[in-house]
Amino acid sequence: MTKHLEKTENMAGNQDPNQGQHQDPETTFETALNRLEQIVRQLESGELPLDQAIAQFQEGMQLAKVCRDRLDQAEQKIEMLVQEAGSFQKRPFQPEE
């Protein structure tokens, strides 16, 4: 699933910086990811006409941005409980880069 995101993001060498700003704020991560996976399968089939493939690619880039934003938001909300001096302390989650 993450492989599709990375693959789609890597395909956007010259993407529009404003792309994806018109996304529905209610779109869930799961909805965006399911649609993105569907688009990737269609593009990988190689059966789409060029104009339709380009439109699908653009939609896929917007969906990849939605997924990335939702993951970033989730990452910021995660806190870890760390035991220090006999009690537990809340610490923000620090992902490994």
**DSSP assigned state of 90:** E
pTM greater than the 0.85 cutoff: no
Mean pLDDT of successive 10-residue stretches along the chain, which has 97 residues: 49 42 74 97 96 97 96 84 80 73
Contact between 36 and 67 under an 8 Å Cβ cutoff? The reply is yes
Q: How far apart are CA 20 and CA 90, in angstroms?
A: 34
The pLDDT assigned to 18 comes to: 40
Helix (H) or strand (E) run with residue 89 in it: strand 87-92
Q: Within its chain, how far is the Cα of 47 from the centroid?
A: 25
For residue 8, count other CB atoms closer than 10 A to its CB. 21
Return the structure tokens found at 54.
Answer: 């380009």
**DSSP assigned state of 81:** E
Return the structure tokens found at 38.
Answer: 């569907």
